[in-house]
Structure 1
Amino acid sequence: PASPSSPASPASAADDRSTVTGRRRIAFAVHTDRDGLSGLPVLIRSLALTNPGVCEDVVVLHPGLPDSSFDALRRLHPRVVTREAQDRTDVFRLEGYDTVVALGPDMVVLGDLGELLRMRHGVGAVPQLLAAGEPGERRAVLPDGLLVVQRADVDDALAAGLDAGTPAGDGLALGDALVPLDARYDFLTRRLHDDTPVPARVAVLHFTEAPGAPGFGPAAEARRRFEMSDDAFRAAYRALAGRKHPDLLAHLAPPLLEARPSLDLARTVADVYRGQGRYDEAVEVLAPVVADRLDAPRCQETLGVCLMALSRYDEAEAHLLLAAASPDVAPRAFAQLARLAWLCGREADAHAYAREGLDADPTDAGCQSWYVRTRAKDPHADAPDTDGPQPACAPTVDPAEQLAHVALFAEGQENAGDKVLPEAVRMCFGPDTGPHRWYEQPVHRLVDEAALERLNARRGVIVGGGGLFLPDTSPNGNSHWQWNVPDDLLARVTAPLAVFAVGYNVFDGQLYRRGRFAESLRVLVERSAFFGLRNHGSIDRVRELLPAHLRERVRYQPCPTTVARHLLPELSGPVDRSDTVLVNCAYDRAGLRFGHDYGHFLAQMAVALRGLRDRADVRYAAHMPADEKFVHDLRREHGIALPVEQLYDMSNDTIRGLFRRSRLVIGMRGHAGMIPFGCGTPILSLVSHPKLAYFLSDIGRSEWGLSVHDRELGPRLAERASALLDDHAAAVADVHAAQELLWKTTRSNIEELRSTFGMDG
């Protein structure tokens, strides 16, 4: 649980009460008594100003000081956590963290600590020279020196030795756990006597003398850089160039805005709030200072986007039009206007806005995408060539015979999994998955009175599948999940409503302000004739948000992609497999997926793939263009080139065929595991999102998943992949066996739903 010392901090609002991805939890820790308190503000300021993109918990260990003693620290950092501890060795047993960087109140940070945060083994420390210049001088780790502790490597013997205490003049007895660090990470000021300048490479300066001691002027000056008022510190942080951590910026910038309001600062704060999903706060910050000014197009754009995320569409459109008056901002603003018009069901307006954006910049990808997507709806489009053959008139469709499908319908080069999924949902209800049987309601499009009437005219409404319970992608203020439906209209859906194979898709550590979502969820469950979620992890998380009397209505409905062999006859027979292993990685929300471990992940994957390439044709399966970053990074950093299968340009049948003919699929995306599994192909999952772990738990095959943070990911992945390839027939049989419960559950649910919808058997 989050510390009570920071109840409003982003850490405490994060949706990570049960981390299931193996995400590494990192903290800075410092032990202090009352005498050392005065040094902590300098330490925290120095850490933030020299490592502005880092915002991990700062755990202050103390012997029982009053809670108010730490108020000054809380003003400086959003993640101050306080814990009682008897001495500094408690950093070796700090519960709730995997990596602890122990600092001291007599230290200041002068440089980048990224190398320390990326360490994965042992206990890092700088062996210092004891009794320099005297007979028998030796090196040892100082008890108050910098430490980088990997909790997994602190065994009972090491802990017992630390508990025994440290004799005067001796260092910590770390034994084989010690990983020596460069001296620049714990540089002692006693080396700087006679006013020796601080070397430029020093990252952590450790004061072994009082900061004002004579003969150590340059060291004292290095520390004085961080002796400043709170306002000066906030201004200094905001003025830093390069990437700043949004949580730190959100903590430090608002007081500056209150003291000295300015347009530029308001936009800075609003952009941070926007990135955190705090759209209402972003509007509160920007609206008073922006108004209808034409000289602030970027602010108008930010304000318009935030208003759109709150479903305040008329206001959003007005501000985006003001932004579009600026040539620099016009393409982006027109792309947002096209999206807004489409969300509101105004296809012709969406097309016109996209066309205006292309007039401003013919290369703008956003405008091009909306232009193509809405082209068929343009009333001004050229008439077809009447000399050629004409299509037959479409048969009249009786709405009462259709099912309405509320889903994300991917188009163009969007996520391949999101293209396969809607069709898989429809296949559960019969072989006809086309427009004669199904009416499409894009999940992100606003449900207004006209849309409600169209839904109610159908035989039934199916919402799903996919991970629709998430706050971002296409935020709206009506539901705070992906279906853009106001509560009052949702309550007036009279057609039988089924939520089918939807997932709770929030990352470990992702912010989710869930009050509005919880109320929308309650209305949805009350109104639904069937409410099925695609894994038991999602079921548990959603039940937490519901009143007790509704919790049992939440049921299990696996993702239909996982039972494709039972839905498509052509997938059920024998298959001639190639010697292909497909690999997939995902890069959306990379910070939440990898944290500080991306370099480690890439290196470990290189280890695994080098071994696999000796026995299989290893290829890369890109679900969307952004996935190809892995191929570029792997080639650049490790010299390994992989051929790419661009799934985003393939048909659903081609995607399923590729997965079915492969011997093994190693995937990070949810559907990079579920689709091949559904086709009968063995899988291994690279777990960076809870949904992968949830699925493997449901089928009783948790060993098929490896965390992207696993310290030994490379060798373990190679070993498990080799085992599946060595006895491939058994692996395929295992997949088929694991499918049986999923199919049994799905078949039972479908039979119930066919009755609910009044469909023939």
Structure 2
Amino acid sequence: MSRTTASAAPPAVHTPAAPVREAAADDVRDLTGKRRVAFASFVDENYLPGFLALLRSLALSNPEVCEDFLVLHDGLRPASLARIRALHPRIRPRRVDAARYDAYAKGDQNNYLVRKAYFLLDVFRVRDYDTIITLDTDMVVLGDLSELLRLREGLAAVPQFFYGTHKLNSGLLVIQREFLSDAFCERIDETGLAGAYELDKHDQGILNAVLDGDFVRLPARYNFVKRRLSGDKPVPEDTAVLHFTGRHKPWQGGENGYAEAEARWRDFHLTEREFQDAYLALPGAKHPDLLVHLGTPYVHRTGEVEAARRIATAHIGAGHFEEAVEILRAVRVPVHDAWPHEVLGHALLSVSRYAEATSHLLLAATSPHRAPTAYSRLAQIAWIHHRDEEAHAYAGKGLSVDPTHRAARIWHQRTRHAAPGASLPQQPEGPAHEQLAHVAFYMEGQGNAGDKVLPESVRLALDADPSARRWHSLHARRLFDRAALAEVNRRRGLVIGGGGLFIPDTAPNGNSGWQWNVPPEHLRAIDVPVIVHAVGFNAFDGQSYRHRRFHESLRLLAEQSSFFGLRNHGSVEKVRALLPPHLRERVRWQPCPTTVTRHLVPGWTDPVAREDTILLNAAYDRAGLRFGHDYPYFLDQMARAVRGLGALAQVKIAAHALDDERLAHDLRRTHGISLPVLPMYDWDNDEIRAAYAKTRLVIGMRGHAGMIPFGCGTPILSLVSHPKMAYFLADIDRPEWGISVHDRHLADHLTEAARTLLADHAASVADVHERQRALWEVTRANGADIRAVLA
């Protein structure tokens, strides 16, 4: 069937939810279903000048785009590859199998250009990507390519009129995974070897013969051929990709009658320095990888402070804090230039160089524009060092400049007990020798609902009394100093648990490299049993631990621990892989205690009746890592899904954090759909659990928007945008309850899966209880081992 437009909706399907694919431990994208997108070109030495111009044009016309770029070649020189790599941070060279194409029937076997015209077909043998966009090396990109990046169906190209019929022009192709297959390659080979195609059209002839018109039609602006501009016509304003077809190429002297077109090509015929200057001078947002790649040599060459600040900010966003410090240390920042001082202070804070960070943040605070953020970070440093009165004062200064500043308000609230005259009630602690010390992330105020429930759940898994009588609280993000060490060593033991504490960019510090801010010398000095309980390895797809500090800290923690339990087998495998062989078997599975809530909460009773509701949660932290290019698609699919789900029950938004309300706002703004919002970030633990226990189904994107309702006995579906969701579903042997946010037919799969679970709700609840029973047995057995250690 011939597709007619790039924006045609996918056909309706009514099949069971597509399960999250099981994958190798080192490829979490196979768990999240995140689309892997790449560009590709065939490049040889003769066409290298054209390709370099193409790379520059792509960056300058689409500064926020930075995908892998496959460089297919049959023997580029090392110096040529070096020139290519200088322009793009994600070059992936791939040598073609030239002999395969030499066997094809051709119109002219002796013309080297004809021979190499077939080599681009090697892209169909790539298996590492879901979408590949091919570009001929005699093209330049002049406009936005985001529409191509969002395509998800078929093989797309611009049609051209040949001999009375429209056929694709292979200069630009958008190829989806179903065509990146052995079966499609067999059809290409069969056609090429038999010569059953228009021989003078080379690779394009083969594709047209194989597809026989069955391709997605793209607008002409995505492959606007030079021939349409004969007579020095100007390039149309909406041209996205200009293609210099024909024998005469711009880098070879060009051709008469195409002055306007060739002037556009020369815009991208730049030296390396000119290209860096042009990219850095572009207004608006830039992809952090491109900014770092092109901006770092620019800063070392020019010493420009503003560029260094932007690059440092990109490093911080990627969790590369040492690199952020280095780039700003490479320039001379004037005393009065507040913004770079603020960014440098942030980077230094993130690597625990607190005294230096304080100096730079105080300089930043002299500017009214930067003062609220600078004061909030100064409050954070003081709070980390247990100086709450100082932290409260700093936060107050930030609010005096900007009363709406969120971070300053959070620190002001968190330290309100230290305000002059404050007398907040304190829960009395029991005798130290009867207590366990507990390191966790303690969420207060309008914080993530899952992070509120977690610490209490960890305590209930080990003691029926979660109160201060039995537990001494230590916030993971505060410095574990000598005083904290002394308090721990007075207790029966130390429990570490209550969050995905292994994550590189949340509460970064230079002491451990993960969320617990513990210097190694203090970790070594703990002389009571150390229990790591249901901690998660929470790195997103695209994140990694780059620095040695985390690996050293992790190894030391494993050595010191009497029990080392991680909340899913995926985390177990990830952490074991980072440890030396003799420590790997110490790491064991301890399910998150929120998943067995019914067995932990004293006096728990299952609901006699449930509300006829479906609770829906979406997460927006690190949206780029969650959605990639697919957020508009996700939103459209959720609109369709909500309409379908609304026929099954009333749909409400369960907002674990303030940012989670964005789904409600975006659905109303773009689709006219209004949904009630449950502000769980404002609720206490009992309210959160009660809401999840009495609904019929929960569809969640956050980890604990799945695990908490599951623990309350409620059927769940997971919108998978993070590997931890797939890890949990694999542990309970229900991968079909997970649907990737990138799923091609997300709305249909989600609605059908919900319909299936709700059709026999009692059976679905019984299945949850059965899955939960296995987790409870593991938790009970581990609890017995832990109590033996503590005894």
- TM-score of the superposed pair, with normalisation by structure 1: 0.93
Match of 2:244 in 1: 207
Match of 2:401 in 1: 360
1:449 equivalent to 2:482? Answer: yes
> CA 1:408–1:157 in structure 2 vs 1: closer, same or farther (change >3 Å)?
closer
Match of 1:582 in 2: 615
CA distance in 1, matches of 2:139, 2:330: 43
1:50 equivalent to 2:61? Answer: yes
Question: In the alignment, residue 134 of structure 2 is paired with which amino acid?
Answer: A
- Say which is worse superposed, 551-560 or 278-287, in terms of deviation: 278-287
Q: Quick one: higher RCO (CA 8 Å, sep 6+), 1 or 2?
A: 2
CA distance in 2, matches of 1:717, 1:551: 38
> CA 1:536–1:373 in structure 2 vs 1: closer, same or farther (change >3 Å)?
same
1:216 equivalent to 2:248? Answer: no
1:685 equivalent to 2:714? Answer: no
Match of 2:588 in 1: 555
The two structures, once aligned, show a CA RMSD in angstroms of 1.8
1:83 equivalent to 2:94? Answer: yes
Question: In the alignment, residue 700 of structure 1 is paired with which amino acid?
Answer: D
User: Which digits, 9 at most, give the CA deviation of each residue in 1:527-552, with x for residues without a partner?
Assistant: 00000000000011101110000000
Question: In the alignment, residue 167 of structure 2 is paired with which amino acid?
Answer: A
Shift of 1:259: 1.3
Residue of 429, 433, 454 corresponding to 2:462: 429
Matches within 5 A, 1:166-185: 166-170=197-201, 171=205, 172-173=207-208, 174-175=211-212, 177-185=214-222
CA contact (8 A) 1:19 1:508 kept: no
> CA 1:15–1:111 in structure 2 vs 1: closer, same or farther (change >3 Å)?
farther
> CA 1:176–1:518 in structure 2 vs 1: closer, same or farther (change >3 Å)?
farther
Question: In the alignment, residue 162 of structure 1 is paired with which amino acid?
Answer: I
Shift of 1:377: 2.1
Match of 1:321 in 2: 362
Shift of 1:572: 4.2
User: Which digits, 9 at most, give the CA deviation of each residue in 1:46-86, with x for residues without a partner?
Assistant: 00000000000110111233444311110000011110113
Match of 2:533 in 1: 500
Match of 2:282 in 1: 240
Secondary structure of 2:654's partner? Answer: strand
Match of 1:401 in 2: 434
Unaligned runs of at least 5 residues, structure 1: 1-13, 131-135, 385-390
Shift of 1:18: 6.0
Q: Percent identity?
A: 54
> CA 1:16–1:336 in structure 2 vs 1: closer, same or farther (change >3 Å)?
farther
Matches within 5 A, 1:274-313: 274-287=316-329, 289-290=331-332, 293-313=334-354
Matches within 5 A, 1:396-545: 397-545=430-578
1:191 equivalent to 2:228? Answer: yes
CA distance in 1, matches of 2:427, 2:331: 54
Question: In the alignment, residue 297 of structure 1 is paired with which amino acid?
Answer: A
Match of 1:341 in 2: 382
Unaligned runs of at least 5 residues, structure 2: 1-24, 99-118
- Say which is worse superposed, 81-90 or 565-574, in terms of deviation: 565-574
> CA 1:540–1:332 in structure 2 vs 1: closer, same or farther (change >3 Å)?
same
CA distance in 2, matches of 1:43, 1:236: 15
Residue of 114, 135, 140 corresponding to 2:167: 140
CA contact (8 A) 2:429 2:472 kept: no
CA contact (8 A) 1:109 1:204 kept: yes
> CA 1:96–1:382 in structure 2 vs 1: closer, same or farther (change >3 Å)?
closer
Residue of 75, 80, 83 corresponding to 1:69: 80
Match of 1:11 in 2: none
Question: In the alignment, residue 199 of structure 2 is paired with which amino acid?
Answer: A
> CA 1:176–1:196 in structure 2 vs 1: closer, same or farther (change >3 Å)?
closer
Residue of 255, 263, 267 corresponding to 1:225: 267
CA distance in 1, matches of 2:164, 2:758: 56
Question: In the alignment, residue 352 of structure 1 is paired with which amino acid?
Answer: A
CA distance in 2, matches of 1:365, 1:325: 19
CA distance in 2, matches of 1:516, 1:645: 40
Secondary structure of 2:31's partner? Answer: coil
User: Which digits, 9 at most, give the CA deviation of each residue in 1:139-185, with x for residues without a partner?
Assistant: 2113x421000022456664333222342245322246410000100
CA contact (8 A) 2:488 2:526 kept: yes
Match of 1:388 in 2: none
1:593 equivalent to 2:604? Answer: no
Question: In the alignment, residue 265 of structure 2 is paired with which amino acid?
Answer: R
Matches within 5 A, 1:704-743: 704-743=737-776
The runs of at least 4 aligned residues of structure 1 exceeding 6 Å deviation read none
Shift of 1:266: 2.2
- Say which is worse superposed, 157-166 or 277-286, in terms of deviation: 157-166
CA contact (8 A) 1:153 1:177 kept: no
Secondary structure of 2:773's partner? Answer: helix
Secondary structure of 2:443's partner? Answer: coil
CA distance in 1, matches of 2:126, 2:242: 24
CA distance in 1, matches of 2:330, 2:68: 34
CA contact (8 A) 1:20 1:508 kept: no
Matches within 5 A, 1:615-626: 615-626=648-659
User: Which digits, 9 at most, give the CA deviation of each residue in 1:289-336, with x for residues without a partner?
Assistant: 456x43111111111111111111111112111111222211111111
Match of 2:131 in 1: 99
> CA 1:48–1:544 in structure 2 vs 1: closer, same or farther (change >3 Å)?
same
> What is the total number of aligned residue pairs between the two structures?
730
1:122 equivalent to 2:154? Answer: yes
Match of 1:647 in 2: 680
Shift of 1:275: 1.9
CA distance in 2, matches of 1:323, 1:661: 50
> CA 1:341–1:47 in structure 2 vs 1: closer, same or farther (change >3 Å)?
same
> CA 1:208–1:428 in structure 2 vs 1: closer, same or farther (change >3 Å)?
same
User: Which digits, 9 at most, give the CA deviation of each residue in 1:638-669, with x for residues without a partner?
Assistant: 22111111111111111111111111000000
Match of 1:4 in 2: none
CA contact (8 A) 2:235 2:261 kept: yes
CA contact (8 A) 1:338 1:351 kept: yes
CA distance in 1, matches of 2:325, 2:76: 40
CA distance in 1, matches of 2:599, 2:621: 31
CA distance in 2, matches of 1:298, 1:608: 44
Question: In the alignment, residue 152 of structure 1 is paired with which amino acid?
Answer: E
Question: In the alignment, residue 447 of structure 1 is paired with which amino acid?
Answer: F
- TM-score of the superposed pair, with normalisation by structure 2: 0.90
Shift of 1:517: 0.8
Shift of 1:93: 2.5
CA distance in 2, matches of 1:155, 1:346: 61
Residue of 239, 242, 253 corresponding to 2:295: 253
Residue of 671, 685, 694 corresponding to 1:661: 694
Question: In the alignment, residue 651 of structure 2 is paired with which amino acid?
Answer: V
- Say which is worse superposed, 198-207 or 149-158, in terms of deviation: 149-158
> CA 1:382–1:689 in structure 2 vs 1: closer, same or farther (change >3 Å)?
closer
Residue of 101, 112, 130 corresponding to 2:144: 112
CA distance in 2, matches of 1:733, 1:725: 12
CA contact (8 A) 1:15 1:511 kept: no
Secondary structure of 1:101's partner? Answer: strand
CA contact (8 A) 1:575 1:660 kept: no
